[in-house]
Amino acid sequence: MKVVGICGSPRKGNTEWMLSKLLEQVAEKGVETQLILLREKRIKGCDGCLSCEAGGPKRQGTCHIQDDMQQIYPALMAADGFALGTPVYFDMLSGLLKNFMDRTCPIWPHLESKPVVGLAVAEAGIGQAVANLKAYAGICSMRWSGQVTALAKLPREAAKDPELEPTLERLAGRLVRALRA
């Protein structure tokens, strides 16, 4: 069993800390984990060519854009569950994470039935960010297994909330139970 976390923050900040803590707890429960930091990846925008649809309903993970998504596609298809993390930007998910989601067009049918949890962090209000993550999960027919949100502005500010780590541990438990269900 393997859970892949996707971090949609362009900095080493609160989202990354929350995802790391969540994945630590997932690993404690005997599940392999991988954290993909989109800020370290070279991922171009989807150009809308739709050639990825050529394989029919079970797309084979082919995108003509040669960048870091080519290594990420097999990891996504092989994963059993996911954790999506985003900072809130203008009440929505970050552009970095949305760009990644758009580029999953060649493989999204392979995500069907896989459990997914969401993390979102904002300075003042989560806005539509969790709804954005749920919308993606819904379109991919993934199993939404819960979310944790936090309020923080500066990097590592979320780590000062003593309630957050236990809350992330509970979400990790839900995700692992969903994996095994």
Residue 18 CB, shortest distance to ligand FMN, in Å, is 8
Residue 24 CB, shortest distance to ligand FMN, in Å, is 17
By beta-carbon proximity to ligand FMN, the closer residue of 11 and 177 is: 11
Query: Do 16 and 86 form a contact (C-beta atoms < 8 A)?
Result: no
CA-based R_g, the chain, Å? 16
* 40-49 per-residue burial string, b: 16 or more CB within 10 A, e: under 16: eeebeebeee
Segment interacting with ligand FMN, rule: CB under 6 A, options 58-66, 102-110, 115-123, 168-176: 115-123
**84: contact with ligand FMN by CB under 6 A:** no
By beta-carbon proximity to ligand FMN, the closer residue of 11 and 180 is: 11
Q: Which of 2, 9, 3, 20 is nearest to 164 (CA)?
A: 20
Binding mask 44-83 for ligand FMN (x = CB under 6 A): ----------------------------------------
**Interface pick for ligand FMN out of 28, 135, 153, 174 (rule CB under 6 A):** 153
- Coil, helix or strand for 147? strand
Q: Hey, which bits of the chain come out as E strands?
A: 2-7, 32-37, 81-87, 115-122, 143-151
**40: contact with ligand FMN by CB under 6 A:** no
**DSSP count for the chain of H helices, then E strands:** 5, 5
**159: contact with ligand FMN by CB under 6 A:** no
Where along the sequence are the contacts to ligand FMN (CB under 6 A)? 9, 11, 13-15, 87-91, 121-125, 127, 152-153, 155
